[in-house]
Amino acid sequence: MARINNKLAHQLLPALFLASYLVGSVPSTYARPAGTPTTSSAGPSPTVPYASDDPNYPLWSADSNTIPQAQRGTEGATILGPQNVWIDLQNPDTLAPPSTDHGQVMHAKWPFSMSHNRLQTGGWARQQNVDNMPIAKGLAGVNMRLEAGAIRELHWHNTAEWAYVLKGSTQVTTVTAEGQNYVATVPTGSLWYFPPGQPHSLQATDDDPEGTEFLLVFDDGKFSDDSTFLLTDWLAHVPKEVLAKNFHTSQAAFDRIPSEQLYIFPGPIPADNQQPPTSPQGTTPLPYTFDFANMKPTQYAGGTVKIADSRNFNVAKTIAVAEVTVEPGSMRELHWHPRQDEWTYFIEGRARITLFASSANARTFDYQAGDVAYVPASFGHYIENTGNSTLRLLEILKTDIFTDISLNQWLALTPPELVKAHLQLSDETIAHLSKTKPVVVAPQ
């Protein structure tokens, strides 16, 4: 028996020496994170290298006095051929992406400045949909401007229409399938919403002498404002004898109807106290507008948030919004929306977003005022203020109730040993996690 044990030990000795050598020669890349408590027993060996500490800040900004180059640290090289310097200045994380970017993520930025503009007498309109940003399958947007008195003609859509007034005020009208009518004036910073198929109109007041400008969002990425159902377009394509029969009047009554759609056209300034005709069915039981401008926001360490969804804007059944401000150096925390696509519009400031699309796919984008970002449901992301002024944006979700999941809160409410097993965090770091959502995080 002793001879067998000696023989077994002799066979195992080289393996023991090799194991001892490997433990003693683990490279610094695998070193235990600073602040992690040590114990007398050996901790588990890492199965992959620890994440890099390489800095990944944006290397320049849109107003930097530099010629951007495709270099970050020791990687990349200078640009030798032609270069659109202005675009590169606006997109530092595209030309010189962070080392944390990896794999493939569809392009998730669209500046309205790149949209073809439809110019009309009295205003203009430009749109974003899957044709110019294919990742945006769930929502589409239109930026529209009307001079004082100008009318976006009576029309309807096969999608819902949600709107935020950027400047001036807009008078809206609608009639429901039950014959109830509604008229209201929507000021800067407030909202309206019309369900699919419900006819409505939009008209600029002269509260601002220049008229109004607003953002429209539709709950289908394939939406095109060029495919709207317009009153004048329809009547121009119905035989006049049919019109006369339908309205029990003469054909001559329709001698002056337009031969084609008007879309946007000049009109008289609407009265401030405009009232709809009295309907025997009455007025709508719920308002189709919401005084978002005067809603008090919730204050967080790094900014503010206010939310309008079907809980307070009851008719808005398919689109919800959070208006968010982020102070310089602060960020909208790491989070995701479990079932809802996010269409984000930047009103003021500069930002960057990294989209995590699972399977090691991640990509970072930079945004300025007037840009649109798109985040598909469940994509992890943050929104960081990279400028020197307050960042203001709209997070618009395709949903009736605005929801998100906070990474910080998730980890704080998960058993600590389970979090440690994944991330090797210290007890101090675990204790610092927040059991309530930080939402907008202040600078360190």
Q: What is the DSSP letter of 102?
A: B
Q: Give CA separation, 415 vs 242, 409, 433, in Å.
A: 72, 12, 12
**pLDDT at residue 205 tops 80:** yes
Catalytic residue list contains 395? yes
Please give the mean pLDDT across all residues of the chain: 92
Sign of the torsion angle spanned by Cα atoms 165, 160, 204, 273: negative
Helices first, then strands: H and E counts in the chain: 8, 28
Beta pairing, strands 75-77 & 371-375: unpaired
3-class DSSP state of 22: helix
CA angle 16, 17, 18 (to 5 degrees): 90
What does the pLDDT read at residue 36? 42
- Kindly name the residue from 213, 323, 384, 395 that is annotated as catalytic: 395
- The pLDDT > 90 percentage for the chain reads 88
What does the pLDDT read at residue 47? 83
Q: Which of 29-43, 210-224, 329-343, 412-426 has the lowest mean pLDDT?
A: 29-43
What does the pLDDT read at residue 280? 97
Phi-psi bin for 120: left (phi > 0), alpha (psi -120 to 50), beta? beta
